[in-house]
Amino acid sequence: AGPTREAIDPVRYISNHSTGKMGYSIAYKAVDRGAKVYLISGPTSLKAPEGVQLIPVNSAREMHEKIMEHYDEADIVIMSAAVADYAPAITHQQKVKKSDEKLILELVKNPDILYELGKIKGDKILVGFAMETENLVENAKEKVSKKNLDFIVANDLFTEGAGFGTDTNVVKIIDRRGNVESLPKMAKLDLADLILDRIIKL
């Protein structure tokens, strides 16, 4: 759950607007149903639900590492984290001083965690999230197949009631057979339940 932070120096980082609400809602509902839950989360201001084992991380690489530590144990992996796709090529040990008018930051690609998990899926259930600003269904379908997912929960950032920080979401669930289920605006907690229902069906 949550965003990742990619450090530029001890003071600054690159991140995104994820608040972790969707992932924490799923963890809450899963533990309520009796699951053993590891909540591997980037920095958020949320409190981990009771009964959930919180594993806090910062960077995408750290998230990848912690997921791999628990992957064997998992029957279900739900990746709702907004993982940063790129990280600074160099993390400076000291605060970068301002000097020239222009500062160029070199970024290198982070591992695509879900893609890596998809390669070693076995009989685990793998669920992804996709936030798009255009061609929602087309892009999401491509991700289901590329990342070898059971289904993906896709939302359009520009739809009212969807996206970062809200208590609601408006999503489409797209499975590996290409079925598209369009859901109305609903509370993230209700969506969490619905996602778990879909997983149980599988």
Give the residue numbers marked as catalytic: 16
Distances (CA, A) of 55 to 69, 111, 125: 11, 19, 21
Residue 32, classified by CB atoms within 10 Å of its CB into exposed (0-12), middle (13-18) or buried (19+), is: middle
> Please, which residue, 70 or 95, has the CB nearer to ligand C5P?
70
Pairing type for strands 125-132 and 76-79 reads: parallel
Site for ligand C5P in 121-180 (CB under 6 A): 128-130, 143
Site for ligand C5P in 42-61 (CB under 6 A): 60
Q: Which residues face 109 on adjacent strands?
A: 86
Q: Which of 133, 197, 131 is nearest to 165 (CA)?
A: 131
Does residue number 1 form part of the binding site for ligand C5P (CB under 6 A)?
A: no
Pick from 32, 65, 85, 175 the residue near ligand C5P by CB under 6 A: 85
Nearest approach, Cβ of residue 114 and ligand C5P (Å): 3
Residues of this chain that interact with ligand C5P (CB under 6 A) are 60, 79, 81, 83, 85, 110, 112-114, 128-130, 143
